[in-house]
Amino acid sequence: MRGSGFELVVHPCNRASPTFLADVRTFVERQKLYGVVLPPSVSEDDRVAKLLNEIGCAYIRIASVELDKPENMIVGHDRMGGAQAARHILDLGHKRIAFISGPDSFRSSHERRGGFEAALAERGLKLEPSDIIQGAYTFESGVACGDELLKRTPRPTAIFAGNDEMAAGVLQSARKAGLNVPADLTVVGFDDFQIAQAVWPPLTTIHTPTREIGRMAAEKLIDAEGRERRERREERDPARTEPNLVVRESSGPAPSV
């Protein structure tokens, strides 16, 4: 946004608050905002988009699926990322695989799981219900889920966590269990946030191009002239980004026994 004449204001939101929508309205009107970029999971709340339409405030929603008019969307391909994680784990020879999902209320959680399971099915492998455990996209839930999975007999040799925070929690669980990552256990995350390189060993993960997404959202939002052109021609496709696998030290060949 540098040089555009616009300023960036960051406002934290709590979707669980009973005054959430009222707080959003107050903030937008008080600040006289030209436009709003809605990241996940706020972007998945149709009530917010409806409110911004009522106020007359432009907005861009960032999500893993198309939720709105194409001109209002930046769509990431979380399903593709889930498939990339599965293929990497399978290529390393793993058969006993577990998945830690995010909350059911997040569309990204369903997309990542869907891509992961579909890629496993392509190779003739199906996760049992007991192989899937639900986390909360937090480090603490990753520790709790990791503890539960690693107590099992036989335990998984590879765990795919739905985001990097949970994957970092699994690394802690592995240390507590006396397991070596990746010799005894492969751990794969999703997002490639800063924590992925801050932990040891550094996480193999699915890189989400957050800088590109932010740039695309800002450009779409502040390009009012282009926005009008897109609306006039009824733009059919939203802006899309694709993830890619980043291999680091947390993944390795399946143990021989």
The mean pLDDT values, 10 residues at a time, for the chain of 257 residues are: 71 81 92 89 87 93 88 91 98 98 90 97 95 95 98 97 96 98 98 94 95 87 62 63 96 89
pLDDT at 152: 95
pLDDT at 239: 82
Q: Supply 177's token pair.
A: 């269990």
At CA 108, angle to CA 192 and CA 103, rounded to 5? 100
pLDDT at 257: 56
Which domain covers residue 196, as residue numbers? 78-207
Residue 254 lies in a domain: no
83 and 159 share one domain = yes
pLDDT at 41: 73
- Of 206, 217, 212, 218, residue with least CA distance to 241: 212
179 and 90 share one domain = yes
pLDDT digits (tens, 9 = 90+) for 82-125: 999 999 999 999 999 999 999 998 889 999 999 999 999 999 99
In CATH, what number is assigned to the domain containing residue 158? Answer: 3.40.50.2300
161 and 146 share one domain = yes
44 and 121 share one domain = no
85 and 197 share one domain = yes
CA distances, 65 to each of 33, 38, 79 (Å): 26, 14, 9
Q: How many residues does the chain have?
A: 257
Half-sphere exposure at residue 106, Cβ-oriented, CA atoms within 13 angstroms: 21
111 and 166 share one domain = yes
106 and 32 share one domain = no
82 and 42 share one domain = no
pLDDT at 64: 84
Which residues have CB under 8 Å from 248's CB, separation 6+?
196, 197, 201, 202, 203, 204, 205
Phi-psi region of 75 (alpha: psi -120 to 50; beta: other; left: phi over 0): beta
224 and 109 share one domain = no
Give me the number of domains the chain comprises: 2
